[in-house]
Amino acid sequence: MGQLCDAFSLPGGGVISLIGAGGKTTLMFELARELGAEGRSVLTTTTTKIFAPGPDQSPEIILAKDLPVLLDRLGGPAPGGSHVTAAARQLPEQKKLVGFAPGVIDALDEAGLFQWILVEADGARGLALKAPAEQEPVVPQSCGLVIAVVGLEVIGRPLGDEVVFRSSIYSKLTGIRIGSPVTVESVVCALLAPKGIFKGSPAHARRIVFLNKADDPDRLRVGEAIAGALLGQAGGKVHRVLVGSLLPQVRIRKIYALEEDPEQ
């Protein structure tokens, strides 16, 4: 198996939602690449907006305004090893794709045209960390795995809109004042709080945290500190924590699996 597939301990297929900030899009397309290389059929899409992928990320893009049009354009079960990105429409001026409502993702899963459906279900404007607004994240009920991404470079930086998306909500959620350093403890709080990053995840879904950009010893230590705190406080809210980096290439540094992880 590929590094990510092995680290996430993926079963034979299903719907994966990526939420949070700090590398969701990169993770989604890297995971799609690995799954395709293993002969799995993969659909990448979003319930929000994503930048339109280049040919090195996705070999095919399908635009379809609704489910019947999408099913018609897909034309039936995708062959093994294929990878398609689908969206409802394009925003050329923003170079972005607008995705589908969660119910469309549920219907696509029911149709069984792809072994894996990967969904970017949150927006963060390219920042390393976020707190969700009332309507976020937008996770389909068919989702069996929710991956929350956090960029480790945010730790120690002053809390504000320059580094944390929806920083005022993050402040209320964690008790960290605007302008104060973002702490390990605040990230743990944001991940475990009922109205935190995993808000709205289906009760049946596995929940994994990916701590990204652990590309130097200091950030690796920070990632280990967050993982250790999560292990002590998760109480079934998080099943696995990965510490690693995605660029310039995928590197998984640490894997922490809890006893409650159903894939163990």
Q: What is the pLDDT of residues 174-208, one digit of tens each?
A: 999 999 999 999 999 999 999 999 999 999 999 99
How many alpha carbons lie under 13 Å from residue 85 in its C-beta half-sphere? 27
- Does residue 257 carry a pLDDT above 70? yes
pLDDT value at residue 236: 82
Residues paired with 147 in a beta bridge: 18, 208
pLDDT value at residue 73: 93
Contacts of 172 (CB under 8 A, 6+ apart): none
- Does residue 1 carry a pLDDT above 70? no
Global pTM reads 0.96
Judged by DSSP in three states, 234 sits in coil
Q: What is the pLDDT of residues 117-157, one digit of tens each?
A: 999 999 999 999 999 999 999 999 999 999 999 999 999 99
- Give the mean model confidence (pLDDT) for residues 156-178: 97
- Give the mean model confidence (pLDDT) for residues 108-119: 97
Structure-token match 């475990």, residue found = 192
Q: Which amino acid is at 165?
A: F
Measured in residues, the chain has a length of: 264
Domains along the sequence of the chain with CATH: 3-47+115-257 (3.40.50)
Contacts of 29 (CB under 8 A, 6+ apart): 44, 53, 57, 58
- Give the mean model confidence (pLDDT) for residues 151-165: 97
CA distance 83 to 190: 33
CA distance 185 to 92: 40
With a pLDDT cut of 70, the percent of the chain lying above it is: 97
